[in-house]
Amino acid sequence: MPNENQEIYVIIVIGSLLGLLLVGFIVTILFLYQRRQYRAEQDLARMKDLYDQELLKSQLEIQENTMRNLSQELHDNIGQLLSVTKLSLAVLPIPKDHESYESVQTAREMLNKAILDLSALTKSLHSDRISQVGLVESIRYEVETINRTGLVDIAMEANTVEIPFSGQKEVFLFRIFQEVINNILKHSQATTVKVDLLYNAEKNFILRVEDNGIGFDVEEMKASESSTKGVGLRSLFNRAKLIGAEMNMKSESGKGVQVTVELPLVAQNNGTHG
């Protein structure tokens, strides 16, 4: 009888150990499966992120080439046509006491303004000029051009000298600035805009644009799949991310929008973001 009890005890112990081993095996398999699934999801997210970045790069390259070609076409064709027309009016033998003299002078002034505006537009479109004159001067020129239109009053402050950004960072930052200003002109109903170019305490370059417009819900707009503006906002954030910059957007209804783009200069000087 004692031997039978002992055998039963041994069987129970062995059965319990086998049960524990089986449970441990199942738990291990589940853990490994979950970890593999997690890694697969991470790899998929990383691949999607790389795909999105490459797609954005391609889109921006196509956009820059299109804008460069458009700039050249405007300069070579429309610009030349306006210049020839202006010269033709200048050599017309019309005396000052002629009834058409004032009309011709007005037409010449309008043509001259059109030529200046076209010149400003072609310079803004051409990315090579941005690299030549630098980001600060490109933004300053853009601000002066917009102020001349009278659509909005833009004040600009820059506590930094021109920074030799590597790669296409200058072009990307300038296009981000243009897109932000374009959104302000189209949607914000703002009357004043403040633009700051500066270093912070960590020696990072900061571009900040702030308006006094009607504002909007940033997160709701970014999450909107159907809104063109929502897609545009996501594109802005993706552009900043592509050059290693951090972009923040703050807004409240009726209190305008503040956009801040911060680029670590140490990282960009070391070439970590190309």
Tens-place pLDDT, residues 211-255:
999 988 887 777 765 555 666 788 788 888 888 899 999 988 788
Cβ contact 195:139 at 8 Å:
yes
Q: Which two tokens stand for residue 63?
A: 């956009």
The whole model's pTM is what? 0.60
Could you tell me which residue, 74 or 197, shows the higher pLDDT?
A: 197
Alpha-carbon distance 197 to 239, whole Å? 18
Q: Quick one: pLDDT at residue 54?
A: 62
pLDDT, tens only, 175-194 = 899 889 988 988 889 999 99
pLDDT in tens, 256-266: 999 999 998 76
What separation in angstroms does the CA of 136 have from each of 143, 145, 242, 262? Answer: 11, 14, 20, 15
Q: HSE (CB half, 13 Å, CA atoms) of 239?
A: 24
Sign of the dihedral through C-alpha 233, 238, 240, 241: positive
Which tops the pLDDT comparison, 165 or 144? Answer: 144
* Cβ neighbour number for residue 126 with a 10 Å cutoff: 20
pLDDT of 13 strictly over 80: no
Higher-scoring residue by pLDDT: 135, 74: 135
Backbone angles phi, psi at 107, to 5 degrees: -65, -40
Q: Is 26 exposed, middle or buried (0-12, 13-18, 19+ CB in 10 A)?
A: exposed
Max mean pLDDT range (71-75, 102-106, 180-184): 180-184
Query: Would you say 111 and 90 are in contact if contact means Cβ atoms under 8 Å apart?
Result: no
pLDDT tens for each residue of 83-97: 767 777 776 777 777
Please enumerate in sequence order all residues whose Cβ is within 8 A of that of 82, keeping only pairs 6 or more positions apart, or say none.
111, 114, 115, 118
Of 71-75, 76-80, 98-102, 117-121, where does mean pLDDT reach its minimum? 71-75
Q: Tell me the per-residue pLDDT of 14-70, one tens digit each, with 9 for 90 and over.
A: 877 777 888 888 888 888 888 887 787 777 777 766 666 666 666 666 666 666 666
